[in-house]
Structure 1
Amino acid sequence: MSSDDSADVVVVGTGVVGCQIAEQALDAGLSVLMLEAGPRVERWRVVENFRNLPPSLRIGHWNAPYPPKPWAPHLETRTPHEQEEYLQLEGPNARAYMQGYVRYAGGATWHWAGICWRMTPDDMRLKSLYGVGRDWAFGYDVLEPYYTRAEYALGVCGPSDPAHQWPLGNKRSKPYPMGPIPFGPGEQRFTDVAAKIGLLNIPAPQARNSGVSYHGRPACCGNNNCFPVCPIGAKYDAATSLPRIEAKGGRILTNAVVYRIETGNKNAVQAVHYFDPEKRSHRVTGKLFVIACNGIETPKLLLLSKDANNPNGVANSSDQVGRNMMDQPKLIAEVELDEPLWTGVGPVQSSSILNTTQGEFRSLYAGAMFRMENLARSPIGAAAALKKGLVGKALDAEIRRLSACTAKLTVEHEPLPLPYNRLTLSDKKDWLGINKPNIYYDVSDYVRRSAQEYTVPTLKRLAAGLGATKVVISPEFLNSDHIMGGCIMGTDPSTSVVDVDCRAHNHPNLFLPGGAAMSTGTGSNSTLTMTALALKAADAIVDQLKHS
Structure 2
Amino acid sequence: MATDDSADLVVVGTGVVGCLIAEQALDAGLSVLMLEAGPRVDRWRIVENYRNLPPNLRTHWDAPYPPRPWAPHLETRTPHEQEEYLQLEGPNARAYMQGYVRYAGGATWHWAGICWRITPEDMRMKSLYGVGRDWAFSYDVLEPYYTRAEYAIGVCGPSDPALQWPPNAKRSRPYPMGPIPFGPGEQRFTEVAAKLGLVNLPAPQARNSGVSYQGRPPCCGNNNCFPVCPIAAKYDAATALPRIESKGGRILANAVVYKVETGEKNAVQAVHYFDSDKQSHKVTGKVFVIACNGIETPKVLLLSKDERNPNGVANSSDQVGRNMMDQPKLVAEVELSEPLWTGVGPVQSSSILNTTQGEFRSRYTGAMFRMENAARSAIGGVAALKKGLVGKALDAEIRRLSACTAKLTVEHEPLPLPYNRLTLSSKKDWLGINKPNIYYDVSDYVRLSAKEYTVPLLKRLAAELGATKVDISPEFLNSDHIMGGCIMGADPATSVVDVDCRAHDHHNLFLPGGAAMTTGGGVNSTITMAALALKAGDAIVAQLKHG
Q: TM-score range by the shorter chain?
A: over 0.9
Match of 1:220 in 2: 219
The alpha-carbon deviation at position 340 of structure 1 amounts to 0.4
Matches within 5 A, 1:111-190: 111-165=110-164, 168-190=167-189
Indicate the SS of the match to 2:293.
coil
1:289 aligns with 2:288: yes
The alpha-carbon deviation at position 277 of structure 1 amounts to 0.8
Specify whether residues 4 and 398 from structure 1 end up closer, same or farther in structure 2 by C-alpha distance, changes over 3 A only: closer
Partners of 1:204 and 1:486 in 2: CA distance: 27
For the 8 Å contact 2:489–2:496, the answer to whether it is kept is yes
For the 8 Å contact 1:111–1:229, the answer to whether it is kept is yes
Match of 1:11 in 2: 11
For the 8 Å contact 1:338–1:468, the answer to whether it is kept is yes
List per-residue Cα deviations over 1:494-535 (Å, max 9, x = no partner): 000000000000000000000000000110000000000000
Q: Which residue type is aligned with residue 463 of structure 1?
A: A
List per-residue Cα deviations over 1:32-78 (Å, max 9, x = no partner): 0000000000000001111111222111x111110000000000232
List per-residue Cα deviations over 1:211-257 (Å, max 9, x = no partner): 00000000000000101000010000000000000000000000000
Match of 1:360 in 2: 359
Partners of 1:301 and 1:171 in 2: CA distance: 38
Partners of 1:79 and 1:340 in 2: CA distance: 43
Indicate the SS of the match to 2:331.
strand
Partners of 2:52 and 2:4 in 1: CA distance: 41
Match of 2:72 in 1: 73
For the 8 Å contact 1:37–1:257, the answer to whether it is kept is yes
Which ranges of structure 2 fall in alignment gaps of 5 or more residues?
Answer: none
For the 8 Å contact 2:117–2:165, the answer to whether it is kept is no
Q: Which residue type is aligned with residue 64 of structure 2?
A: P
Q: Which residue type is aligned with residue 356 of structure 2?
A: T
Indicate the SS of the match to 2:299.
helix
The alpha-carbon deviation at position 170 of structure 1 amounts to 2.1
Indicate the SS of the match to 2:10.
strand
Match of 1:374 in 2: 373
Partners of 1:379 and 1:83 in 2: CA distance: 30
The alpha-carbon deviation at position 166 of structure 1 amounts to 5.6
Normalised to the residue count of structure 1, the TM-score between the two structures is 0.99
For the 8 Å contact 1:81–1:431, the answer to whether it is kept is no
Match of 2:424 in 1: 425
List per-residue Cα deviations over 1:243-290 (Å, max 9, x = no partner): 000000000000000000000000000100000011110000000000
1:476 aligns with 2:466: no
The alpha-carbon deviation at position 168 of structure 1 amounts to 3.0
Partners of 1:345 and 1:369 in 2: CA distance: 22
Matches within 5 A, 1:19-98: 19-59=19-59, 61-80=60-79, 83-98=82-97
Specify whether residues 231 and 79 from structure 1 end up closer, same or farther in structure 2 by C-alpha distance, changes over 3 A only: farther
Q: Which residue type is aligned with residue 35 of structure 2?
A: L
**C-alpha root-mean-square deviation of aligned residues, in Å?**
0.9
Q: Which residue type is aligned with residue 8 of structure 1?
A: D
Which ranges of structure 1 fall in alignment gaps of 5 or more residues?
Answer: none
The alpha-carbon deviation at position 80 of structure 1 amounts to 3.1
Indicate the SS of the match to 1:543.
helix
Match of 2:106 in 1: 107
Indicate the SS of the match to 2:88.
strand
Q: Which residue type is aligned with residue 233 of structure 2?
A: A
Match of 1:270 in 2: 269
Partners of 2:159 and 2:91 in 1: CA distance: 41
How many residues align structurally?
545
Q: Which residue type is aligned with residue 211 of structure 2?
A: V
Q: Which residue type is aligned with residue 147 of structure 1?
A: Y
The alpha-carbon deviation at position 167 of structure 1 amounts to 5.7
1:245 aligns with 2:232: no
Normalised to the residue count of structure 2, the TM-score between the two structures is 0.99
Indicate the SS of the match to 1:244.
helix
Indicate the SS of the match to 2:294.
coil
Matches within 5 A, 1:444-455: 444-455=443-454
Q: Which residue type is aligned with residue 48 of structure 2?
A: E
For the 8 Å contact 2:119–2:166, the answer to whether it is kept is no
Partners of 2:84 and 2:11 in 1: CA distance: 27
Identity level (%): 88
Specify whether residues 4 and 111 from structure 1 end up closer, same or farther in structure 2 by C-alpha distance, changes over 3 A only: closer
List per-residue Cα deviations over 1:133-190 (Å, max 9, x = no partner): 0000000000000000000001000112122026633210100000000000000000
Matches within 5 A, 1:459-498: 459-498=458-497
Q: Which residue type is aligned with residue 159 of structure 1?
A: P
Specify whether residues 22 and 476 from structure 1 end up closer, same or farther in structure 2 by C-alpha distance, changes over 3 A only: same
Specify whether residues 238 and 397 from structure 1 end up closer, same or farther in structure 2 by C-alpha distance, changes over 3 A only: same
Indicate the SS of the match to 1:229.
coil
Partners of 1:342 and 1:218 in 2: CA distance: 26
For the 8 Å contact 1:68–1:79, the answer to whether it is kept is no
For the 8 Å contact 2:372–2:406, the answer to whether it is kept is yes
Q: Which residue type is aligned with residue 466 of structure 1?
A: L
Partners of 1:329 and 1:424 in 2: CA distance: 20
The alpha-carbon deviation at position 82 of structure 1 amounts to 5.0
